[in-house]
Amino acid sequence: MDISPEDLLRFAIGYVVLLFSLVIHENAHAVSAEHYGDPTARDAGRITLNPLPHMDPIGTVLIPLLMFLSPYRIPLIGWARPVPVNPSYFRKPLVHDSHVAAAGPISNFILAVLGTVLYIIVLLVYKHVPALQDGGGNSFLFFQLFFTALIQINCVLGIFNMLPIPPLDGHWVLFRFLPSRWAAMLAAIRPYGFFILLALMWTGILGLIIAFPMRVIAGALFSFVEFAWSAL
C-alpha cells in the first residue's frame, strides 16, 4: 500500500494521542481504586503518566500498527496493561468495583469533550488573528489532525471499553446489575472474552457495533465545533 507523508503524520499524531489516552484511562482506574481504599495500583507503580508501565506489547504496539497498515480509514484503537485491582479492600466490593471499571471509559469521554473545547478555542484564535492565517498553515494542519484524533480516538475508546464483553470495563459495570444467575453466566465466559473480541474484530462486527454510537457522540462533538466556527 502507498503511504503518503500526511498518512505518516496522521499516524504519528494519532498514536501519541492513543498512548496518552490509554495512560489517562488506566490512571483513572488506579485513582478510583485508591479512592475506595485499594492501594494495589499505587504499590505497583501504575499511578503515573509515564507510558512505559502501562504499555502492552499487543494492545499498545501491534494492534495500532496493524490498524495503520489496514486499507480502512478508521480511528486507532488499542489497550494498555490492566491496572491491578483488589476488590477485597472495597467496603462495597460489587458497587465500588463497577465504579472503578466505569472510571476508565468516563475519562475518555471527558478527554473527548475537553478536546472539543480546545479545538474550538484554537480554531477561533486562527480565525480572528490574521497573522496566523497568513503564516500558520502547517501548524493549523497539525492542530486539526491532533484535535480530530483526540476526539475520535477517545470516543472510540470510551464506547469500546463500555461494551459488556469480558475483559472490557463494560462487563464489570453490567455485572453489578445482573441477577445472580445471569451474573454467573457472564463470569463463566471471562476466560473466552479475549477470543470473542478477536472474532468480532476479525469479522468486522465490532466495527458495526461501535459505528452507530460513534456517529452519534463524535458527530455531535464535531457538529458543535462547526457551529462554533460559523457562529463566533
By annotation, the residues acting in catalysis are 26
Full 3-state SS string of 53-119: HHCCHHHHHHHHHHHHHCCCCCCCCCCCCCCCCCHHHCCCHHHHHHHHHHHHHHHHHHHHHHHHHHH
Helix (H) or strand (E) holding 184: helix 180-188
Output the furthest CA–CA distance in the chain (Å, rounded): 65
Task: Report the C-alpha gap between 23 and 84 in whole angstroms.
Answer: 14
Helix (H) or strand (E) holding 2: none
Task: Report the C-alpha gap between 22 and 103 in whole angstroms.
Answer: 12
Nine-digit cell at 92? 462495597
Task: Report the C-alpha gap between 121 and 118 in whole angstroms.
Answer: 5
User: Is 59:79 a contact under the CB 8 Å cutoff?
Assistant: yes
Cβ-count burial of 204 within 10 angstroms (0-12 exposed, 13-18 middle, 19+ buried)?
exposed
